[in-house]
Structure 1
Amino acid sequence: MSLIQMNEKDDCTLGKLRNLYKTLKIDCYLVPLTDPHDSEYVLESDQRVKFISGFSGSSAFIIIGTDKVSFFTDGRYTIQAKQELPSDWELANQGLIDFMSKCNIKINFSEDIVQNIKSVKTDKEIELSLLYHARDSLAISTTLCYVTKWYESVSANQIESDTNFSFELLDEEDVCKLLADQRLNKLGADGLSFETISGFNENSAIVHYRINEKTTKKFANDGVLLVDSGAHYSGVVTTDCTRTIYLGTPPDEVIRHYTYTLAAHINLANIVFPNNKLSGSQLDTVCRAELWKRGLDFNHSTGHGVGSGTVVHESPPGICYLSQYKAKPTYFVNHMVVSNEPGLYFPEKYGIRLENVQYSILQKNQIENEDQVHYLCFKQLTMVPYCRKLIDPSLLTKEQLDWLNSYHKEVYEKLAKLCVHLPDYSLSYSNKCDLQLSIGNFLGWLRSETKPFVC
């Protein structure tokens, strides 16, 4: 229940809070979306922002001034905020720090030494991350394969039958259930790292879409399916991956936008840069430049740090020139784990996002230089193929295609090796259909998705 709603019952108004300003000698009050432990996901009892505003997203700040209320969130929640906030509140279109500077509001940031230590992973953490990200990638890949094969089967039966073919359609929620079953019951995950996002067609354009009874879509026609999900493994590894696929035959527009997004994603994944010299805001331009030159952009961060069996969003590090936090920048060093997730979103039509988790590592073959500067590159932890039918190789450079072919080769080798140790592994979904996906079926699909493009 929001504070505005409570006005009708017991006169619990913003006025009561503002009456304390003079006593406290303050001009405004900041309401963060956090708890005393700075948790990423807070208990219902600690939902301060939701209580006072009705907003249910996971990223927000509120500044309650003497005569107006300013609300801050990121691009993932702009649409949701407009739907849930009181109509007389200001939805700020600039970063929190920019706003506070403009209004001459002073705030002091202190360096969190413990968080800085956590952001640099140990050799053991990297070793376990490689192991469990591959396992998690198998869960994602088999699920996407299953949904694709199911849709192909349904489409074929519709064409071949007259009017009497009977089947029950899969929907967005079924994808969440399939993924959870793979991870929790077959591959030993401790639990999900966040609520799975599964959005079809126009729902895929909502960055942090959440399934509900009113909006859940069935896969009754061709369209874009975006799936963003993750899990915790063995108490030490956290995963996060987004893939966008197309059910049916994609139009040229979707292929073009997908390939642009993939090009931006590859540019960041393939960068070589000096150790302890570049911040996330600087790296962000390497990714977004591919979209900017086409007049395109996205309104969320390009990357976030990933915890080790703890939280899926860990800071530092981060990759975003848009960040509302402009405190002392964190420079990338060896063994930082971060996501790489550019996207394009077209409201009421579709959205595209591609996300890998990757880690920074010192190059083995150092580029020769007089100053002996050490250079970093990114190695991929996520091992999930990109949607082949949505890639137009003519829109990629030779360097981008070389990276893509090398990545897909590694994906196939790692997942095929895992399958050798799971000879009885299969995927079925008896709730709605009788399609059985064997290891052989999956490897055939994977081989097709990862075959090299001609440069």
Structure 2
Amino acid sequence: MFQTFTPTTTPEQGPPRLAKLRDRMEKDGIDGFIVPRADAHQGEYVAPCDERLAWLTGFTGSAGFCIALKDKAGVFVDGRYRVQVKEQVDTDHFTPVAWPETKPHEWLKDMLSEGVIAFDPWLFTKRQIDEIRAGLDGSSISLRPSPNLIDAIWDDRPPRPSGKVEAYPLELSGKPSSEKRAETAALLKDAGHRAAVLTLPDSIAWLLNIRGSDIARIPIVQCFAIVYDTAKVDLFIDATKLSEIETDPDITILPNDGFEAALTHLSGPVRVDAATAPLKVSDILTEGGVEIAYADDPCILPKARKNPVEIDGTRSAHLRDAKAMIDFLAWLDRQPAGGFTEIDAASALEGFRTASNTLRDISFETISGSGPNGAIVHYRVTEDSNRTVIDGDLLLVDSGGQYVDGTTDITRTIAIGSPTDEQKACFTRVLQGMIAISRARFPVGLSGRDLDALARAPLWMAGLDYDHGTGHGVGVYLSVHEGPQRLSRQSETKLQPGMILSNEPGYYREGAFGIRIENLIVVEPAPDLPGGDHRDMLSFETLTYVPIDRRLIATDLLSPGERSWIDDYHADILKRVTPSPEAEDWLKKATAPL
């Protein structure tokens, strides 16, 4: 059942740990050290032994980094975490820095006239380091690869994870691993590449049709792999993790500590993804005289384009998840304002999901934020922050489930008591943005960057906006945050049929309330329309079927098309989802026409 989040570091623990880091920096003759959130696999979610940023600073967000200098320490966070970071770090010793508005090289040049900044090359990609180095060009500040200084001072560092690996069956994957490997080998041959280095655990899991348990909430296994143009694979992994599955003769199992040596013996060109592989991989290959061909991880796009079996499984998972969500929302409506807390809500929701007997895990830590806590975009409730939900609050609940046939992610914002006109107006503008994405038709070849403004336009018209992307990719019983597809101003990946994305505009008023509405959608070919000129177009199928709180909708702001979309959506929910008997009457009222 639901467990409250306990930070690795409290604000008061950060300064003495920072002092220990500075002592180590002085011994090593360096002027600064960069501590990222990432691990060697560049994962958003990391194992406890890799929570270096949280251990040092107290900041627990899923993205960011710290640059510790002799007299200053900047904690770089994006718009999702600007409120959270101020609550989690000691701001007398750590200075929050708005990133990516402020680039690390810009900050370093403002802070230093000269110096040597060290970093662990296993924890940064080549692209990241190249960008910083380019920004420092012409200055007297240099970057130096280094052993990890946090590891040297972290005395009680947890052990590496050792979760078991399970086979992911064909009836769920839709394609055997042998076929995926053959297609990958053909891609490599066409590009003239002899092999590709895979460092992303979800790419390896997809390619080999395996799942793991090394990271909480994400069924991946931490490992490295080399896939050859012969369709053979070398898998570098703790062999004890594989004790419960049969391995393919074309997959050679090798120990983790053999990965570096194996890189030096490759025949090039070897494909390396400069955006995802650790810089250390490139350094080892270069030192070994192996020719490198920089190109995307060959599994990323095929993994993102879900096949019909994966999409059907995801639809089924969403319908089961919808039942749990509807049962939860009906339960929530029966609770008196002031009679339950954020933790009570999160615990109840997890209980409804667990009751299906099909839940493997939640897909991320449930966000249950009421009132001002809802304005913290990635809020994680603790015993200290837990708030009683009172009359007049908006309760933002962002949650999801890991089912063996699909991964879900849904956000609903619920009125507790009677909402104000201002809350309703803000909610409705967020809803209009979500509807705009849901109804979108667009030419083949567009990316998420081209669609992001559709979700923001209703907010912009009122002088409002939100500081996060509109949507991220989602895996199939894999990571709830999957690349490369996104609905974001930064995304240049072309949207293609089979890609699953979240559709989640929001609005956040610090100290008051937060609003987010999120459905998952999948890209599909759009049917031709009478009177059109027969262009190839794409559209979205909605996967999430859970009511939107009608009490928060200012109907006078809606266009006729938006009203019809909401009524049709609610009618579909009533047809598709069978709730528990206790929720039947609630669902009928919640899905009544506007």
- TM-score w.r.t. structure 1 length? 0.81
* Equivalent in the alignment of 1:431: none
Against the structure 1 CA distance between its residues 106 and 406, is the aligned structure 2 distance closer, same or farther, given a 3 Å change threshold? farther
* Equivalent in the alignment of 2:97: 92
| Distance in 2 of aligned mates of 1:48 and 1:375 | 45
Say yes or no: does 1:402 pair with 2:564. Answer: yes
Q: Is the 8 A contact 2:44 2:63 kept in 1?
A: no
Deviates further, 141-150 or 57-66? 57-66
The CA deviation string for residues 118-170 of structure 1, in whole angstroms up to 9 with x for no partner, is 1111111110111110110111111111111233xxx7xxxxxxxxxxxx922
Against the structure 1 CA distance between its residues 16 and 382, is the aligned structure 2 distance closer, same or farther, given a 3 Å change threshold? same
Say yes or no: does 1:299 pair with 2:461. Answer: no
Q: Write out aligned runs for 1:5-44 (5 A).
A: 5=13, 8=16, 12-14=20-22, 16-17=24-25, 30-44=34-48
Give SS of 1:228's match.
strand
Letter paired with 1:47: E
Against the structure 1 CA distance between its residues 357 and 187, is the aligned structure 2 distance closer, same or farther, given a 3 Å change threshold? farther
Give SS of 1:37's match.
coil
* Equivalent in the alignment of 2:314: 129
* Equivalent in the alignment of 2:544: 382
Deviates further, 444-453 or 69-78? 69-78
Say yes or no: does 1:349 pair with 2:512. Answer: yes
* Equivalent in the alignment of 2:415: 246
Give SS of 1:113's match.
coil
> How far apart are residue 385 of structure 1 and its match?
0.6
> How far apart are residue 65 of structure 1 and its match?
6.2
Q: Is the 8 A contact 2:507 2:515 kept in 1?
A: yes
Say yes or no: does 1:448 pair with 2:589. Answer: yes
Paired residue for 1:337, among 494, 500, 508? 500
Paired residue for 1:213, among 380, 383, 403? 383
| Distance in 2 of aligned mates of 1:388 and 1:374 | 36
Say yes or no: does 1:148 pair with 2:316. Answer: no
Against the structure 1 CA distance between its residues 135 and 16, is the aligned structure 2 distance closer, same or farther, given a 3 Å change threshold? same
The CA deviation string for residues 34-53 of structure 1, in whole angstroms up to 9 with x for no partner, is 22233332111111212332
* Equivalent in the alignment of 1:320: 488
Deviates further, 294-303 or 169-178? 169-178
* Equivalent in the alignment of 1:435: none
> How far apart are residue 83 of structure 1 and its match?
2.7
Say yes or no: does 1:172 pair with 2:177. Answer: no
Give SS of 2:466's match.
coil
Against the structure 1 CA distance between its residues 368 and 450, is the aligned structure 2 distance closer, same or farther, given a 3 Å change threshold? same
> How far apart are residue 99 of structure 1 and its match?
5.0
| Distance in 1 of aligned mates of 2:442 and 2:76 | 33
> How far apart are residue 240 of structure 1 and its match?
0.5
Against the structure 1 CA distance between its residues 177 and 52, is the aligned structure 2 distance closer, same or farther, given a 3 Å change threshold? closer
Letter paired with 2:469: S
Give SS of 1:255's match.
helix
Q: Is the 8 A contact 1:366 1:375 kept in 2?
A: no
The CA deviation string for residues 400-434 of structure 1, in whole angstroms up to 9 with x for no partner, is 1122122111111111xx34xxxxx4xxxxxxxxx
Give SS of 1:12's match.
helix
Let me know the Cα RMSD of the aligned residues: 2.8
Deviates further, 47-56 or 133-142? 47-56
> How far apart are residue 113 of structure 1 and its match?
2.3
Deviates further, 406-415 or 52-61? 52-61
| Distance in 2 of aligned mates of 1:120 and 1:316 | 10
Against the structure 1 CA distance between its residues 389 and 379, is the aligned structure 2 distance closer, same or farther, given a 3 Å change threshold? same
Letter paired with 1:125: E
| Distance in 1 of aligned mates of 2:488 and 2:70 | 32
Q: Is the 8 A contact 2:475 2:482 kept in 1?
A: yes
Give SS of 1:186's match.
coil
* Equivalent in the alignment of 1:158: none
Letter paired with 2:450: Q
Paired residue for 1:138, among 303, 323, 333? 323
Against the structure 1 CA distance between its residues 382 and 83, is the aligned structure 2 distance closer, same or farther, given a 3 Å change threshold? same
More RCO (CA 8 Å, sep 6+):
1
- TM-score w.r.t. structure 2 length? 0.63
| Distance in 2 of aligned mates of 1:174 and 1:319 | 32
Paired residue for 1:73, among 57, 74, 77? 77
Paired residue for 1:203, among 367, 373, 388? 373
Say yes or no: does 1:53 pair with 2:47. Answer: no
The CA deviation string for residues 281-324 of structure 1, in whole angstroms up to 9 with x for no partner, is 22111111111111001111211111111111111111222x5x
Q: Is the 8 A contact 1:198 1:226 kept in 2?
A: yes
Give SS of 2:132's match.
coil
Q: Is the 8 A contact 2:361 2:401 kept in 1?
A: yes
| Distance in 1 of aligned mates of 2:529 and 2:23 | 62
Q: Which one has a bigger Cα radius of gyration?
A: 2
Letter paired with 2:505: P
Give SS of 2:476's match.
coil
| Distance in 2 of aligned mates of 1:225 and 1:343 | 13
| Distance in 2 of aligned mates of 1:251 and 1:217 | 20
| Distance in 2 of aligned mates of 1:407 and 1:172 | 28
* Equivalent in the alignment of 1:262: 431
Give SS of 2:299's match.
helix
* Equivalent in the alignment of 1:362: 525
| Distance in 1 of aligned mates of 2:470 and 2:52 | 27
Structure 1 residues without counterparts, runs of 5 or longer: 156-167, 420-424, 426-438
